[in-house]
Structure 1
């Protein structure tokens, strides 16, 4: 079930070939992009389109340009290096070798949203372990998120390295052609219409009688044309500079050498070249002296036609076949590139031995051409070609032109231009539109599409029809929104919808109240809606897609919550008054406790001064009597006198312990960060004489560091150690072990300690006489003794002081005893 839910969350990554699988398995949760199912819908939709496209696509997402790409683009990354390493990587790191060029282009699109287009741009790429020269033709388009903010850049990219290299070969061929032209007594010219500069070879300069400098103006050449032909030539030149003319130039005229008066009849063949703004930037061609031409006019036409087409149509595939066995007499580089054949494999070979796979589809066209002697045309015509070791369908625009000799077809000229990329892109666009419609129709969220000013309902999914509109499909599709729901005319929605279509801005609203009314009844509810403009290829808003979610339950629940809050407020006021009354009573109790504390302080003062003063005098005079009269006392008197001395000592000890007990509540004592082992060492030093006298052995660890009141912790350690030595077993060496652990308060809630705090557990274990387990709490009570006064001296206050100090530190202490075995004290101090 979890796998199914996970699959549904990332369904937009379905299919998509190898890259789709890689993206589905990629640990996105470990990246800054987060889990795939949390991505914005705009990113999901774009990735779905990208993965299911056969055209090379690359998506840069976010301000850091994180990279996504499809299987078609993967080929350009090479077999080693970037694939699949750059998936999810930021653009600068992924394309470091070309980022100085790519970065500004991408940032420009992200900033202003204007698309870009580059043809045959030189961008070396690091692939297959080396930096390779590469050329690219690509376009950048901005991708907007749900808030109509540009969040990514979609790149449709084709590597044109092979084309550029072929063009360079063509330039070499042009050099070879120039040589051939010179060898065939042809003149050549190259004219720049933007600068009005004309370059010619020496032959034309000699024919026209022109200046020998490299560049001249056009008029200097046209002035050599005979006057009866000059206007016709000038008109032809102006016409060729018109983009709509196709740029072809073929004209014959007479010239006269200005220097020697020699006249020639020449034929000019050339073409004009246009930039992206359809402005001619180059006009070049050849000039042939046909004055002494002896060939028949028919043969001349054939030669001229062949030459003209080979020169002017060089960017497209050209092939001339003989009718007999369709032998390839002439083939240009572009045709060889399309076929993926060499000249040696093609020239003077039968066409269908070179391209066996096209015979079935092309023979009927040839037969029609030969029979009718008319050209045959095709647009986006599919041919199956074997390329890259596999058969694939290519789409071509072509013209098959018959070449006649004495009225019979002797040769066929094939002129073809491949449009496979454009056709497949259109197919993919149509498929994407189909997938988009399927997405809308299958979405569980109510969705629909409106078109035009009359808000015609183009599409409505089942969720919208059933949950919101409560209509059948045939009742709404193709009809105006206000025709279906006339009660909306007076509402705010028509104005909002027209605003989206006029401005192209996305509009959203939460908990918007809406009501519908028709012949079947009246219903109302609250919705969250989003209105998103839809644009055509020119960016013009033609419609609007909307989504709406019924949130009536949420609104009503909030209203109930508001009512509950008001009732709760009244209850709070009532409870506040009751709490105030209880607090007033508490203050009286506190003042009473403060008075008792003052009385306790007064008692402590009396204990420390007024009670100790007469006690000191009793002891002082008892010492004097002992020093003077002890020998005169009877045995009975000495025994009674010793009881007086012993009682006075117990009284003094009792007063000192009471005073110590009262001081443990002193709130003015300051907590300090203390190493408890140092405190223990001070106590051991203080008790060193007693430790030696009792031959006590101490074992302890490193203890801990905590915030405590140092003198109080010393008092705890000293009381516990003295108790252990006092209650040692006869004829047994006292052993005291001190062990420290760190424990969680979760395990100490029975001691009323905080579960979220951490405590140091200090355990004191001895091997003394111990005590019965049932006295584990009683021994911490004031004046509680488990043994007689004569058997073991003490007041029963020492452990009460220990417990009070532990509580002062927000800690606790417990005792565990076993008669005849020993006692164990566990002290808990918060860290």
Structure 2
């Protein structure tokens, strides 16, 4: 049975373990051999309800109480109970390099330490955990007065630190999401009609940031044409039967500059159990650019449709890989005679070509593949058996590497023109067969034709132009004969036209060319010229006969179409939101901007691919079937916050999108493609999910309060309870410090005075010991007084009074008058503002700052201290200053001295408890004064920082909310 010692009779598990421990196996030996100071300290630890821990002796043998035990971890996964009586180095190998220097500092006679929310990872519960602590290290002396042990008082604050960090991150994420989305936010209390809004919304409403937004102002800015509709939508949202949902687009007019803005409002009303709306909040999104882009797209499409209709042409695009043809109804009508025909391919097109023109088709396709340009004429046989002449114009479409992937262009039915040409040819044949008839008759026939007609001799020199063609040029007939016809062609096209005609004449082949002709009235028109060699009755070559058509309207229509298509593509590529165009039932990606391609996690190689092939992870998700349904029904599909699984950067992730699938129709009213517009709302959805999860967790607490307010209220109450417990513990500690710790000090000081009185002439060594003892007791007494001041300020936060800082400074200067006279200091004070606060705390703040300025002065220089003040905006606060209360502006009060200064890198350290930059022998003090200043400023909703250089004085800047 272990021997019972009175100082080990404390209750609890640690009392029992300490009594049963075989201390003779340690360097401390049996408890009856322990020094009295160790016995007293162990007794205090075991009876205290506050977490305490003790290292004792050179090997730092360990003691701790029940309150400290949970921080150790239990069993094989923790340090309890093996830590009792264990050497410190053996118990804490994972943090020993961190804490051993602090222990050595205390044992070497250094000041006690204090750290708040300090991260010190420890090994417990089977792993190395990140643990936060608020703790102090204090020396414990043996019976000879030498520091032999280190007493640790601490509280684990891991949960508090994590909660504060999580709350801050959640708030920052929400604020970032709102700011990134450029949303205006609003909140209406339907019971009081109180309306609040963020700064962006106030700017839209023409209200200053600090002004209050009245409900009447919120409705007055709505455009007159939309006001009644918006009021009705709000009324429906506040009706419980509607579910509280609110979504509407309308226009607002800024009352200051009359600028208009189209906005998209989304919100929700919240109801009590009695179905009465008690809150109505939401967001406004500026969709002005989006709406204008939509209107421009519609206008561009209408313009393109008009150009196509007026030109009488069909559009097509041929995929070089699949052979599929995407075309307009006009194309199908021109090729097959049936505008409803679909599913055409290159092979299908060839099946409609007249058998006698298949070799011509093959030759022109080959030539077009080499030059990149297609232009030819051939005959097609319609489904009804009729034969028609067409002109095909187009060009190759290349990918980024220059490889042809498709070719696109236009077709035009020129059957009527061809009939005219055939009519001419027949006329020429009749002319050849009846040369004996009058030349006048021939000229009358040709001159009556609305088509320009011409003849050339064997050498290709013009011998005849009909009246129509001569009138086009506005030139004299004799000027056009021979090669003079080329002078009517504009210079850019002239040589090419001459060379083309010369080549055809040399080969006696069909001639065809496009060029721009300058007419007599100065206008420039596009013309299509064609001709063929003709022969005499004996079969000998006689020259060329041909015609010339004015195709200016056709070319203008094609250019307008190309411009419209380019503008349409530009609108998509430059759209501020993700936009793309799918064509055909297989949803081939025709155009997609960088935002949309980025959402897919792909690159430009997806263009031209079917969506299911370009983004294969969409299989099994609803989007492909929705697109097919839109293509089939022709009905627009809109969806909000729809979940999508997309592979981005090689990883499959979950995203949420607001998107619209809008069908596009051709001139026949058929759907040929789908416009996809999407907005990534992943962050908003996740934030909303977090909010909804939080609301659900706390909904049961009170049906009368809003879920979000209730959650924050509970967190605030928990924080208040934690603060109260912390204050209670701090008050208990203050009580111990002011009574239990002060009482031994008073006895030491009294006994020292008695010894001095009894031995009026003690020996030199004895006198030195007494002086050191009295000096240490006085320092301890000052330290306890400063700790009491720090604890009172930490727990006293009443700042409801109105305080004149000028009066506070005057009172402080009266208290410091003797010190000011001794140092000869010059103090200059500007008129200071009035703030809300506690005059006693503010007095201690400025007394500490002025006392420091007087204490840390340079011996060879007269101290000079200046107090200045200015008002700054919140955005101008230094980055290191985190005020406890956020306002639009702050008073900046600078306390500047010409003292010894300090290194700027120590600016964070000087506001911590027990942190000193100078030795006790050099400058007296406890290292708590600036920590008290920081607490006072925080209690008053402000912040404090300092700037300095060694030898150049220091400036302490205080920021009070206005």
Provide TM-score, normalisation by structure 1: 0.31
TM-score, normalised via structure 2 length:
0.27
> Which protein has the larger Cα radius of gyration, Structure 1 or Structure 2?
1
